[in-house]
Amino acid sequence: MGIRYGTPSAAVDAEPGLTVSPLSGRRGLRAAGEVGLATRVIWERALDEALRGDEDVYELELSALTFVDVAGAGALADAVRRLGPDRRIVLHGPPPALRRSLELLWPGLDGIEVPAS
């Protein structure tokens, strides 16, 4: 959560944001910002997009994500479980907390790949 600064009496909590855009030249999305309570609907819609196609590989560029809460990680795990056989989601640059959540709460989840960086 960020703070907008003006005069000391005008400091206001800014709403966290999440932007999602298609990747250029390959099937997938780029996500930037935070995945939390205020942005979960956007995140879940983006993950639903991955399930709609029939490509073997769907890529998520996540290097511009600063935060993913446990519920957001759970939505990703659920989307991966709903993929058809022989399909996978590849995560590029996920935040460390997302990696840890997936490893701790959904170990051995088939259908998800995180290339070594």
Q: Cα 63–22–73 angle (5° rounding)?
A: 50
In a domain? residue 4: no
CA-to-CA distance for 7 and 88, rounded, in angstroms? 49
In a domain? residue 3: no
In a domain? residue 11: no
**Are 35 and 65 contacting, i.e. CB atoms less than 8 angstroms apart?**
yes
Number of domains in the chain: 1
**Are 106 and 77 contacting, i.e. CB atoms less than 8 angstroms apart?**
yes
Q: What is the pLDDT of residues 52-77, one digit of tens each?
A: 888 899 999 999 999 999 999 999 99
Q: For residue 38, what is the domain's CATH number?
A: 3.30.750.24
Helices (H), 36-110: 40-52, 70-82, 96-105
Q: What is the pLDDT of residues 10-51, one digit of tens each?
A: 334 556 799 999 999 989 999 999 999 999 999 999 999 888
* pTM for this model (two decimals): 0.83
The boundaries of the domain holding residue 107 are: 16-113
